[in-house]
Amino acid sequence: MDYAKLETVMRRLALEAGDKIMEIYNSDDFEVKTKSDASPVTEADEAADALISAGLRAAFPDVTLVTEEQATTHTETATTFLIVDPLDGTKEFVNRRGDFTVNIGWVEDGVPVRGVVYAPARDRMFYTLADGSAVEEFGPFDKDKVGEVKPIRVAEADNDALRIVASKSHRDQATDDYIAKYKAADMKSAGSSLKFCLVATGEADIYPRIGRTMEWDTAAGHAVVTGAGGKVLRFDNHEPLAYGKEDFANPFFIVTSPSVDLKPA
């Protein structure tokens, strides 16, 4: 993979998809449909997916592409592939809460190594550079010219005063029970893969996810966290979260700064 080309293409497509999403988000009304798994899908999901998929296939025609909105790609068996969630946090989008993202990731031998997470309603964009390090770029964003970029790094955690982030739409008792094992100084809620990015920037120390997710939900954020010095681990055994699983479904996981003293499941 040409990582410099990948960085440029992913960044541009994320911004283009973000523009399309915000055009629909700011309209008076938009259609919400229900998929077979009972999750919502909107015309924004579909429009962003069409744009990103076309762009990735044009730039990398020989690379396997897996995307949430195209069920025909869910039968792929590769361990090296591009993976897309064109609109992560559809519930946040539908309820006009702003915490939704465009996710484009590159998985190599089962490990997410490059990615971009763009939150168009929050004007925040995080991505990996060609060398694998993670940055946040600050707007206003120009598709053809990179603006102000700042390297990001996970925090050195204080285990007596941890900053924890958890899901906004999927918080449950099991999550609360696990969080209670830690000494927390601050609790945040956020939607979509923004939670990964809050750990990557050092705004939070740990994000436990006890609930169903798919690889397209997590790959891009996983790459950003890794590029910022963090870890994404299975909840049950604290082994690295792997990708290219048969059904692309994730086990429960923990996103963390390495300095956090992790508690057993």
Binding site feature residues for Mg(2+): 68, 85, 87-88, 217
Binding site for substrate: residue ranges? 68, 87-90, 217
User: With helix as H, strand as E and coil as C, how does the chain read?
Assistant: CCHHHHHHHHHHHHHHHHHHHHHHHCCCCCCEEECCCCCEEEHHHHHHHHHHHHHHHHHCCCCCEEECCCHHHHHCCCCCEEEEEEEECHHHHHCCCCCCEEEEEEEECCEEEEEEEEECCCCEEEEECCCCCEEEEECCCECCECCEEEECCCCCCCCCCEEEEEECCCCCHHHHHHHCCCCEEEEEEECCCHHHHHHHCCCCCEEEECCCEEHHHHHHHHHHHHHCCCEEEECCCCCECCCCCCCCEECCEEEECCCCCCCCC
d(CA 189, CA 197): 13
Binding site: residue ranges? 68, 85, 87-90, 217
**HSE of 57, CA atoms in CB hemisphere, 13 A:** 10
CB 170 within 8 A of CB 211: yes
CB 137 within 8 A of CB 120: no
